[in-house]
Homo-oligomer: A and B are copies of this chain.
Amino acid sequence: MNVNGTARMLFTAEEYAARLAAVRLRMAEQGLSALLVTDPANIYYLTGYNAWSFYTPQLVFVPAEGDMILFSRQMDASGAFRTSWLPPECIVGYPESYVHRPHIHPFDWVAFALRERHLIAPAAKGCVGLEMDSHFFAPKAYRALVNAIPEWTLVDSFELVNWVRSIKSPAEIQLMHKAAVITNNAMAAAEQAIRPGARKCDIAAAITEAQIRGTEEFGGDYTAIVPLLPTGESADTPHLTWSEDRLKDDEPVVVELAGAYQRYHVPLNRTFSLGEPSAELSRLADATGEGLNAMLDVIRADVPVREVAAVWNRTIFEYGYEKDSRLGYSIGVGFPPDWGERTISIRSEEESVLAENMTFHLICGMWMDNYGYGLSESIRVTATGVETFTTYKRGLLPINS
């Protein structure tokens, strides 16, 4: 906390100003005279506000001109200055009596507070954008706004702030490099813990310990997704969490995890093999590795994203494989339940074009019938090619027990 009673800024005031300016430019392009931001990652990106408070409704009011205002539950608003740089008068708490009540909603109160501040009419000049597909904005919250502010024409802002986030600043890239060190350590902790007979929960515990402890120089943050550990036959599906079962002597273990630093994520997927891998798994691993290499070879600024998917498809098709699901997604700030930015996906239908300092998790998850293989790299697009955030060895990694 600095002398003004506001938080230490993680980024410079200029960087936050540039983010807001970029958001306002898009708002103007989309005809929005105001935007209500409810995605915790977007709130963090614009205001620095960072707390586990997103399980009760909160939003940032972003007018075309004038101050942003953060609305959250009173008990959270009173401490918000500890992480957000917004001045105290721009952090407003709604009363506790609005929490978890069937017939009223905190945004009833927020609407009144906006009205009291004479902020309804200026925003009614254009449309007001809502993040209609964000995780912590429920239909009940939406209807509260519709009912309480009839003057506003509410429209989907789509992933407006998320798109601004898709190109990283040098300061953000630095944070991701720190996250990558943690990623590397966490994957090494997984490799260390994977042994025949090891309980899956013990592997997850070792990974999480490494993720949160971080390094001697800097501490780790919680990740938006817990370590995922599909093993053996259950490696045919990607999102199972661990159990207390023990690893068999002879099964592959697919590990997907991330390192996080100051909410910036660098994910990584590797597959470890206990015992002798089957011929079909080895063949799948080879094809997947080639597919990833082919993508890395083609990535650079100005390449259409769908070309990246195309080289993957061509490469694995030669092995007789096909993959329906996407090959990666934009990454950066993440809050549970997702470390993806919900904007660019690496797939043939994607219409966007790669730009310098976009960052992706390129994930080649191959979920077959009763077996599977996973391999990924988190990368930064450069003017001339690609930088991988980690250098963890690839391939089907044998565990020598």
Alpha-carbon separation in the docked complex, A238 to B210 (Å): 25
Question: With A53-B239, A135-B135 known to touch, is A345 a contact of B100 (CB < 8 Å)?
Answer: yes
A137 within 8 A of B: yes
Alpha-carbon separation in the docked complex, A365 to B134 (Å): 30
Contact residues in B for A134 (Cβ distance below 8 Å): 138
* Interface core residue of A54, A140, A340 (most chain B CB under 10 Å): A140
Taking CB atoms and an 8 Å cut-off, the chain A residues in 311-339 that contact chain B are: 324-326, 329, 336-338
Contact residues in B for A342 (Cβ distance below 8 Å): 100
Q: Assess the A199–B212 pair: CB atoms within 8 A.
A: no
Number of interface residues of A (CB under 8 A): 85
Shortest Cβ distance from A233 into B: residue: B1
Q: Assess the A219–B239 pair: CB atoms within 8 A.
A: no
A133 within 8 A of B: yes
Question: With A97-B349, A209-B209, A226-B52 known to touch, is A240 a contact of B139 (CB < 8 Å)?
Answer: no
Query: How far apart are A393's CB and chain B's nearest CB, in angstroms?
Result: 25
Taking CB atoms and an 8 Å cut-off, the chain A residues in 264-304 that contact chain B are: none
A392 within 8 A of B: no
Shortest Cβ distance from A139 into B: residue: B142
> Which of B74, B80, B210, B234 meets A79, CB within 8 Å?
B234
**Which of A115-123, A169-177, A241-249, A382-390 forms part of the interface with chain B?**
A241-249
**Which of A62-70, A200-208, A354-362 forms part of the interface with chain B?**
A200-208
Shortest Cβ distance from A365 into B: residue: B75
Query: How far apart are A352's CB and chain B's nearest CB, in angstroms?
Result: 12
Query: How far apart are A364's CB and chain B's nearest CB, in angstroms?
Result: 13
Question: With A95-B324, A201-B214 known to touch, is A236 a contact of B78 (CB < 8 Å)?
Answer: yes
Q: Assess the B209–A158 pair: CB atoms within 8 A.
A: no
Q: Assess the A138–B140 pair: CB atoms within 8 A.
A: no
Alpha-carbon separation in the docked complex, A141 to B140 (Å): 12
A71 within 8 A of B: no
Question: With A138-B138, A219-B200, A219-B243 known to touch, is A237 a contact of B75 (CB < 8 Å)?
Answer: yes
Q: Assess the B367–A240 pair: CB atoms within 8 A.
A: no
User: Which residues of A are at the interface with B, using a C-beta cutoff of 8 A?
Assistant: 50-55, 74-76, 78-80, 82-83, 95-97, 99-102, 105, 130, 132-143, 156, 158-159, 199-202, 204-206, 208-214, 218-222, 225-226, 228, 230, 234, 236-244, 324-326, 329, 336-338, 340, 342-343, 345, 349, 365, 367
